[in-house]
Chain A
Amino acid sequence: MTTNASQHRDLIHRFVTETFGQYVLSHDDFRGDLSLYIKAEGLIPICEAFLEDDSLQVHFLADLTVVDWLDTERGDEHGRFEVVYNLWSMRHNYRFFLKVFLPDTEPRVASLTDLWQGANWMEREAYDLFGIDFVGHPNLEKILTPDDLDGFPLRKDFPLTYEVPHFTWNKDQPPEVIR
């Protein structure tokens, strides 16, 4: 980490912990990237503050993704789903992450679509593949998978392949390969 990057890291860290200390659970610097673990209810206030703030200009939501920590120590400890918000400071060209852990049953977090238009499709994708419920999203529907696919394919308990019968001896009921 260069000195510049460490200064920017401290600026961001201070900005979040000073005002929103009650929401921040912990932080880490894995491979030089700052990750702030926050409570789900703190997401909207923190992001709103970022958008209003002009000294850091964290105005760019670069990415949004989910990690499924099923059957791991990390998942058992914090919650199965980790939603990762990838933010970028336009002024300092610095990237950092906000991470929210969600439980196995009814994973639910507030939608960022009111703050960033770009979050719309990212959240739809996360819903489609992981089944995370983004509260307040205007159009939370399937985006990638076909309508007749049940379940959320990128969850770890979803099988990678699906079995289709190649042929059958029962000529009255031909195999339904494509519905």
Chain B
Amino acid sequence: MGLEEKIPDSVIMTSLDKMVNWAHKRSMWPLGFGLACCAIEMISTFSAHFDLARYGMEVMRPSPRQADLMIVAGRVSRKMAPVVKRLYEQMPNPKWVISMGACASCGGVFNNYALVQGVDRVIPVDIYVPGCPPRPEQLMDGVLKLHAKVETESLKDKREEWGTKIA
């Protein structure tokens, strides 16, 4: 936001962090992007029965430029990996990644020539959700864990992470 460059580390800074994190947490827009089996459970999670809208997350964005959470739902093949990386790069900061399911986290049962053994070889991952596929409750738990993680973030750290070109 540019504010944090002018304000020194102080009570105001931490309060600002709190407010910004609260806003991030309460309106996290996932990228509408499914790869394999886990995508179906992801749809279940977003549907009426499990209803992820309770956490302010029902708006799936088809365009990566409007999204700030990427849920990698399914196995990432070697052909798909460059595409996933590209999509991640197209998302504006701040952005988070949930790796959903065994295949996205570590390759799952498919240790073979075609699959990338874990999406974390291509893009950084914040939360790993195990399961094949994870139940919707598990994904929700992963989302809540991500919310908890977002709460601990500080604008100052981000500046260092993203470099000097802070938005």
Q: 10 shortest A-B CB distances, which residue pairs?
A: A146-B79, A178-B81, A177-B121, A146-B78, A160-B112, A162-B113, A153-B113, A161-B111, A161-B112, A178-B122
Q: Which residues from chain B contact A177 at a C-beta distance below 8 Å?
A: 116, 121-122
B156: interface (CB < 8 Å) = no
Q: Which residues from chain A contact B81 at a C-beta distance below 8 Å?
A: 178
B149: interface (CB < 8 Å) = no
23 A-B Cβ contacts within 8 A?
A: A145-B79, A145-B114, A146-B77, A146-B78, A146-B79, A149-B78, A153-B114, A158-B113, A159-B113, A160-B111, A160-B112, A160-B113, A161-B111, A161-B112, A162-B113, A164-B117, A164-B121, A177-B116, A177-B122, A178-B78, A178-B81, A178-B116, A178-B122
Q: Which of A113-165 contact B (CB under 8 A)?
A: 145-146, 149, 153, 158-162, 164
A residues at B contact (CB < 8 Å):
145-146, 149, 153, 158-162, 164, 177-178
Q: Which residues from chain B contact A159 at a C-beta distance below 8 Å?
A: 113
Within the assembled complex, what's the spacing in Å between the Cα atoms of A149 and B111?
16
A178-B81, A178-B82, A178-B85 as given contacts; A161 in contact with B122, CB under 8 Å: no
Within the assembled complex, what's the spacing in Å between the Cα atoms of A177 and B77?
13
Within the assembled complex, what's the spacing in Å between the Cα atoms of A89 and B82?
45
Within the assembled complex, what's the spacing in Å between the Cα atoms of A172 and B52?
45
Q: Which residues from chain B contact A146 at a C-beta distance below 8 Å?
A: 77-79
Q: Which residues from chain B contact A153 at a C-beta distance below 8 Å?
A: 113-114
Within the assembled complex, what's the spacing in Å between the Cα atoms of A158 and B114?
12
Q: Which of B122-155 contact A (CB under 8 A)?
A: 122
Within the assembled complex, what's the spacing in Å between the Cα atoms of A148 and B111?
19
CB-CB nearest in chain B for A154: B113
